Amino acid sequence: MANIDTLPINITRANKSNLSQVDLSNIPFGRVFTDHMLVADYKDGEWVSASIKPFGRLDMHPAMSALHYGQSIFEGLKAYKNQKGEPVLFRPYDNFERFNKSAERMCMATVPESIWMDGLMKLIEIDQAWIPTSQGSSLYIRPFMFATDEYVGIKPADNFRFVIFCSPVGAYYPEPISVKIEETFVRAAQGGIGAAKAAGNYGASLYPNKLAVEEGYRQLIWTDAKEHKYIEESGTMNVFFVINNEIITPSVERDTILKGITRKSVIQLSKDIGYLISERAVTVQEVVDAARNGNLQDAFGAGTAATIAHISAIGFRNERFELAPVSERTISNNILNKLDSIRLGKEADPYGWVVKV
């Protein structure tokens, strides 16, 4: 049996880098991958192997349980280069912690820090030349884990594979997004898996989102499963509104909303800038009323991939409310600038969010 504290991470380097074929100043989101990935395997109660190897395909058994029953979780975090050109990660320990919480909720093995964090650091060190530095770009990192039991019965799996790959990215939403308040479909119900970063949450959102796109919207704003009275989150992000100079965002006490790391950062920065910000139940009614009477000063999503995504319009039933131009949104623009400056080392990080590789 391998001891997880001493399990070595074997490293096999790619013979040749693909970096020269990529224009890092002009990259789409999520379609370009770096030279290496980390792969670790858990078998019958133990992490048995961990390696960094050339990026490539993973083979799978047709009965692999993740494909059938959805024991599959992921994270998203980003690496940047600071002003000295050194690679840094933004709040990686928060992702590590949330990942293992998702694992517990999905009845999966947890991943030890010696694999998750040490493997991540080593991977970024090896592929650091792939971190783009143009405005709005970063290296998006995708840790994920899935059940690998070769068994058709349904039970918590005994075998898992943990993988981290990286992708240099530009903006997730190159333009401000229009969102529709959803009152028929739900993302998560209380007691469900809304707080876990489980693959199924995203798969289930595709159909309602497709209908919203057909109606001319880019994304949805999810409401609570019981009454569709409260705002939960938006598409792949947490959501914030500014009404009468107060920033409001749904509280995450209930287990239906993902506890976003960008969300936490936005709340902290808002408080420290001196904005009035409240985490509380946010009703559809108050947002729609504010939009209708011109008091909705700002609305934005916050997530790792998107960072801050300005909302250009909100749809509710048969009404569509256009919001102020992004250039006039002082609050979200200030928060975004502050976040960027800290991540890129342009200003001091009093929070310990930025971790050097």
Contact residues toward ligand COI (CB under 6 A) are 76, 202, 236, 303-305
Smallest distance from the beta carbon of 303 to ligand COI, in angstroms?
Answer: 4
What letters, b where the CB count within 10 A reaches 16 and e where it falls short, cover 111-135? bbbbbbbebbbbbbebbbebbbeee
Nearer to ligand COI, 258 or 284 (CB): 258
Smallest distance from the beta carbon of 76 to ligand COI, in angstroms?
Answer: 2
Q: How many CA atoms lie within 13 A of 87 on its CB side?
A: 21
Smallest distance from the beta carbon of 1 to ligand COI, in angstroms?
Answer: 34
Nearer to ligand COI, 159 or 307 (CB): 307
d(CA 236, CA 233): 8
Smallest distance from the beta carbon of 199 to ligand COI, in angstroms?
Answer: 10
Nearer to ligand COI, 65 or 304 (CB): 304
Nearer to ligand COI, 45 or 203 (CB): 203
Smallest distance from the beta carbon of 95 to ligand COI, in angstroms?
Answer: 9
d(CA 274, CA 139): 31
Smallest distance from the beta carbon of 304 to ligand COI, in angstroms?
Answer: 4
Nearer to ligand COI, 194 or 243 (CB): 194
Q: How many CA atoms lie within 13 A of 195 on its CB side?
A: 16
Question: What's the token pair of residue 97?
Answer: 């912690």
Q: How many CA atoms lie within 13 A of 284 on its CB side?
A: 19
| Number of residue whose CB is nearest ligand COI | 76
Phi and psi at residue 191, to the nearest 5°: 90, -10
Nearer to ligand COI, 73 or 242 (CB): 73
SS3 143: strand
